[in-house]
Each structure stands twice: as C-alpha cells, then as structure tokens.
A and B are shown apart, each in its own frame.
Chain A
Amino acid sequence: MIDRSKDFFGDMNDIIVARRLTKRFGHFTAVDAVDFHIKQGEVLGLLGPNGAGKTTTIKMMTGLLRITSGSVWVKGYEVTKNLNKIKKFIGYMSQKFSLYPLLNAYENIEFCGGVSGVPRKIIKEKKELITKEIPREILTQRVKDIPPGIRQRVALFSCLISDPEIILLDEPTSGVDPEVRREFWAKIYDLKKKGKTILVTTHNLDEAEYADRILIIHKGRIILDGEPSELMRAEKAESMERLFRKAVTGHEAN
C-alpha cells in the first residue's frame, strides 16, 4: 500500500509524514522544522492563530509551495520529487472555498473535474448526483450569488470529484451557520467511514473536538499534538478555549 523509500521516517499506517518541514519567506520563518504524521483514516484538526503557518503547511503538503528545507511524504512518496503522483491522492479545498465566482456551480464542477483529469462521463454523473442534493435553479446561478452554506457544499463536492484518498480542507466552515456546520461534519465522518484521511483547519475552537486528533500550531511550530479530550484532561483545561490559550501563552513564555 505505502511505497516506503529508504529515507522514509513514518510507519505503515502513516499516510502523511513531515520531517523538519520548513518554509522561510525571506527572513521570516513561517513553518519552523515541524515533525508530524497523519494516520490513514484519521480526521486531523489543525488549529492556530492567523499567521501561525497552517495554510503554508498545507500548501507544502500539496506541492503548491516550494519547501525551504525538510521533507514531507504523501503515501510514501516524497512530495517534491513526485508532484504528479501525489496530486492524484489529494483533494484540496482552499480558504474562501476556491470557486470561480463568475461561473455557476456546474461550470465550477466541470472545470475542477477537468483539471483533475476526471473522465467526462464521470463528471456528468457527478453533476447529476449534486442535482439530487441542491436544486438546479441554484446550481445554475453564478457562485458569487448563492448562499455561503451552499457555496461550501459545492466547493467540497468539487474537491471530492476525483475521489481523492486524502482531503485537505482549509477553513471549510468559516462564515457558515450551525446547521451547515453540523451537516458538514456528518459528511466528513461519511468520508472517514470510507477510509479517507482528512485534515481540517479551523478558527472555531469548539470544532476542534470533532477531530480524532489535533495539532495546535503557533509561530510556525507545533505546540500541542493529541486527542482533544485527552489533551484537555492532561492540561487540566475544561474547554478547548482554555487549552488553546494555555498552550499559546505557555509557548510565548518560553
């Protein structure tokens, strides 16, 4: 299943492994020699203040951003050397849902499927599939005119069109309301059930508890890694907010 090259550090269950992964922009170190691994089938929450390095980390995992030093492996393939291979494994939904605002939902799905190399026949099937979920009148409107909750569903749908094994979602729930958020997480668990590996970044600390495991990242470093309720217990924090505050202020004091 996993092609282990000889310099691969993770174990068999790790679908993603980062080793001293670093990104510098000029003198600014956005991601500072982080080590982490993501297990196959895991729902991982990536949390941190703005500018902590969350998006930069994701972009390095997808090959969208050049790595300054260190490495990241996706299914055993080192990203920088295997860009075309790893692209097939990954579905990425960037912040603000990355849809083309002047195209309608169908056009966005077609485009997204097209660039991911999904056969026309399947794209057509997928379009029929989404029409069962969302009315056609809405899907034919320009994406910028449809409500954020539906926009988010269309973006997720587009991201999943190539049936990727690894799904990276950058702030997928920002600006959406409680019903949509709850449905969104139900969908995430459906994907997990199918064995997908999912990484989600969020600004909503309360959502972190949906993850099997969280990484809190601050100033380019991982300052906490674990299962949310165990971390709260270990750090004697009664809420995720307390845990977060404790971790971040503790890190700053050091």
Chain B
Amino acid sequence: MLAVKNLFKAFDSIRAVDGVSFSAQRGKITIIAGADGAGKSTIFKIILGLIKKDRGEIFIDDSPINGNFSRVTDITGYMPERFSLYTDLTVEENMDFFADIQRVETGRKKELKNRLLERTGMLPFRKRRAGALSGGMKQKLALSAILLSSPEVLILDEPTTGVDPLSRIEFFKIMDDLKKEGKTIVMATPYLDEAEKGDFIVFIRKGKNIKQGGIREIKDNFPEKMFRILPAGNIFETLKELNSKKEVRAHFYIRGRYIKCLFSGDSGFLAGIKAKEIREEKPSLEDIYLYYERGVRDD
C-alpha cells in the first residue's frame, strides 16, 4: 500500500534519515521502532511532505508519487506525537471542528462523529472539555478525529507514550479492529513490548535501518538462543560466575529473580551452574532489538 525506498535526509551534518526503505501492507501493522532521536518522526514527516527529503521515493500501490504528496495525504490520517486538540472545546466540538476542516459532508457528520466516538469509547465523554481529559482519553479523541476522513492509511507517531496501561490495552483493541477493516497502520514506538502486537517491524537506529521484516520471521530466524535461569543461591553470585566464563560469548542480564542469557552455540557452559530451573524461552523483540543494536553500536 505505502512504501518508501532509500530515503535520505540530513540536517546540516546530522544524517537524520540515512537510507531507509520499507513497505507497509493493507490490514497489517507496521512498527517503526527505535530510540528517541533515531529518525522515526522525520521519516513520517517526509512521507507526508512536511519535511523535504534529500533523496528517495515514496510509493502508493507501487507507483512513485513523484512529488505529488496529496496522493499520500488524501488517503492518510496522521497522528503526530503531540496532536493538537482544542483544550477549551468539548470532545464533540473538537470532532465538529476536525470534521469541518476535513470537509466531511454535513449530512453524514453527526452519524459519523457518533460512530467514531462510540468505537473509541469516547461517547460518554462527548460533553467534556478536551483539556480535562486524561492522556489516554486525549489519545482516543485524537484517533477519532483522524478517522473522520475515513483514511486508508494511518500514520501514528508514538501514540501510547505517557498513556496508562489500561488505555493502551484498549488502544490496541481498536487497532485490531482497524486492521480487520483493511487499514494500513504504520506506528512508531520506543516500547518494544508494544511492538510485539505488530505484524512487521523496522528497527531504526541513528537514521539507519538495522533490521526489518515480519515479526514472526525475525523471531524464528534469530541466530541466538535465550535461556532463563532461576539461580539456586544469590543471583549476583550466579551472575558473576556466568560472567567469569570468558570462553562463552553470551549476554546476561537480571530480570526479577531470573538471569536472562542470550548466546549462540553450545549451552554446555550452563551445566555447572547451580540453578533451580533453566529453561529455554523465546527472546522478546526488546532482546532482539538490543542484540542488533549492540552489533552496530560502535559504528
């Protein structure tokens, strides 16, 4: 549906976007994951024509847009990191305003507005001032507002930053429904536990694409094994013991009462460890991201 190829953008000497390509499919969630300042927002702004790119091309349904950004914006709903709601207007008045600037026909406006507020669970709060909403509710109102234009593509820039866990769970339920309707969803996030809910992922670091693909494939083809160790004695002693095994190229970290251990090759070195339990488990996307990040860190 939406694709970018070899995007480049430098701000003076900083290469904000350094050769990024990916494609986002209909009915799928594509996650753009990366640290603060990795270039996620810049990529979105380039796609929308808000920042001029140095090089590269944007494609809609495999055809290059050739500078005609209205081909993107006509079908896209964009939710920037800080979506500007009018804090002195009510939820409903905000929706009316956004419906008007998006030229929703007057006849459809009321029905559409109510339907969207209903689906995001905001209908009971329609008379509340936007300024008096919680972070999670503001985010749902912003989402309702961008859905007014019935976009095929949704570009969401860190939609869940600062949002509490319940609202996040609800937000992803809505995403699931939108996915089923065939929307193309592109979402930036620094939270890799959330990225697990996506279908495709693009790991961005310092403007560069360090790994990308289907989330399941990336997990299945991950070259290292992950073990979870429950030490029998003091966890810090066990960690010290593991770290002292110089011949083993492995990465260890503590997570609660477990030591997590990521390595490739033979697991024989674990045999001598005093543990109540050693279990292999699937690495998380966070483990995977940090693995690739370590691989390129010293560039």
Chain B stretch 214-267: residues in CB contact (< 8 A) with chain A: 236, 253-258
Q: Is A26 an interface residue (CB 8 A)?
A: no
Most A CB contacts (10 A, CB to CB) among B134, B135, B162, B290 go to B162
Minimum CB–CB distance for A215 against chain B, Å: 14
* Contact count A vs B, C-beta below 8 Å: 89
Q: Is A175 an interface residue (CB 8 A)?
A: yes
Number of interface residues of B (CB under 8 A): 33
- B169: chain A residues within 8 A (beta carbon): 241, 244-245
**B236-A149 in contact (CB<8A):** no
Select which of A49, A177, A203 is within 8 A of B35 by beta carbon. A177
- B135: chain A residues within 8 A (beta carbon): 50
Residue on A nearest B234 in the bound complex, by CB: A193
Contact mask for chain A residues 195-228; partner B; CB cutoff 8 A; 1 contact, 0 none: 0000000011110011110000000000000011
Residue on B nearest A182 in the bound complex, by CB: B290
**B165-A178 in contact (CB<8A):** no
Chain A stretch 22-57: residues in CB contact (< 8 A) with chain B: 43, 47-51
- A229: chain B residues within 8 A (beta carbon): 256-258
Tell me, in angstroms, the Cα distance from A248 to B166 when the chains sit together: 9
Tell me, in angstroms, the Cα distance from A158 to B136 when the chains sit together: 30
Minimum CB–CB distance for B119 against chain A, Å: 19
Contact mask for chain A residues 179-190; partner B; CB cutoff 8 A; 1 contact, 0 none: 110100110010
**B134-A228 in contact (CB<8A):** no
**B36-A148 in contact (CB<8A):** yes
- B190: chain A residues within 8 A (beta carbon): 175-178
Chain B stretch 142-174: residues in CB contact (< 8 A) with chain A: 161-169
- B163: chain A residues within 8 A (beta carbon): 203
Minimum CB–CB distance for B213 against chain A, Å: 18
Q: Is A119 an interface residue (CB 8 A)?
A: no
Q: Is A174 an interface residue (CB 8 A)?
A: yes
Q: Is B286 an interface residue (CB 8 A)?
A: yes
Tell me, in angstroms, the Cα distance from A245 to B284 when the chains sit together: 20
- A248: chain B residues within 8 A (beta carbon): 166
Chief secondary structure at chain A's binding surface: helix
- B105: chain A residues within 8 A (beta carbon): none
Most A CB contacts (10 A, CB to CB) among B38, B169, B236 go to B169
**B34-A227 in contact (CB<8A):** no
Q: Is B125 an interface residue (CB 8 A)?
A: no
**A175-B162 in contact (CB<8A):** yes
- B293: chain A residues within 8 A (beta carbon): 178-179
Minimum CB–CB distance for A129 against chain B, Å: 22
Most A CB contacts (10 A, CB to CB) among B34, B136, B254 go to B254
- B286: chain A residues within 8 A (beta carbon): 178, 182, 206
Tell me, in angstroms, the Cα distance from A186 to B253 when the chains sit together: 7
Minimum CB–CB distance for A193 against chain B, Å: 5
Residue on A nearest B289 in the bound complex, by CB: A178
Tell me, in angstroms, the Cα distance from A24 to B38 when the chains sit together: 43
Minimum CB–CB distance for B67 against chain A, Å: 33
Select which of B38, B193, B289 is within 8 A of A206 by beta carbon. B193
Can you show 17 pairs from A to B with CB atoms below 8 A apart?
Answer: A47-B165, A49-B165, A50-B136, A50-B167, A147-B36, A177-B36, A177-B190, A178-B290, A179-B290, A204-B191, A205-B165, A206-B191, A206-B284, A212-B257, A228-B256, A229-B258, A244-B165
Q: A-contacting residues of B (Cβ < 8 Å)?
A: 34-38, 134-136, 161-169, 190-193, 236, 253-258, 284, 286, 289-290, 293
